Amino acid sequence: MLCSLRCVLWVKSCFTWYVDYSGDILVNKYFALIVFSLYFLFGCANAMESGNEGKMTKIKEMLIQKLVDETYLNSYFHENVFPERIPLVIVSNGLFEGSESLVKFDREILIHEKKSLVADGKPYLEITQLELSTHSAEIRYIYSPEGVRGSVKFEIIDNDINVIHQELFEM
């Protein structure tokens, strides 16, 4: 939908330019056709890139949610014993932007700077690596209060994400 809308806007702007500046239609016909085609193609390419960014963000959100819900890491939260670990806090490091849709322990997952978390002695989950390709992903992480680090490999098929391999090490 977004691609179609952007393409229409590019076509409209090109058509406006053609009508305003073409003057002699026979001389400028081929030039205008080339410019029109380029505007159309680049408009769709830009629209698809924007759409892919949104899709990648959504996939990253799904991966993080899967990480905190369905991996070995889940058994290290001990939220009943340590209520100060609620809500879950993830370190803001550029690999992942926060989202209101991420939830753990029936509360929104928070995103904070590592420096402030360390200074305050707060528990946090740090995503140290997030690699994403068309059909797979890998996340490496450290969960500070339990002194564990791990990695999880995922398979991505359409909008379905499955854990295919995971490792967890106590440091």
Average pLDDT of span 82-92: 95
Count of Cβ atoms closer than 10 Å to residue 161 Cβ:
19
Average pLDDT of span 43-58: 62
Average pLDDT of span 33-45: 52
Instruction: Name the pTM for this structure.
Output: 0.69
Give Cβ neighbours of residue 87 (< 8 Å, ≥ 6 apart): 104, 105, 107, 108, 109, 110
Nearest-angstrom CA–CA distance, 115 and 122: 10
Torsion angles phi and psi, residue 70, rounded to 5: -130, 35
120-159 pLDDT, tens digit each: 999 999 999 999 999 999 999 999 999 999 999 999 998 8
Sequence ranges of the domains in the chain: 2-54, 57-170
Give me the DSSP letters along 91-118: E-SSS----TT-EETTEEPEEE-HHHHH
Nearest-angstrom CA–CA distance, 130 and 142: 12
pLDDT bracket for residue 60 (50, 70, 90): very high
Residue 90 has pLDDT above 80, yes or no: yes
> What is the per-residue pLDDT for 39?
54
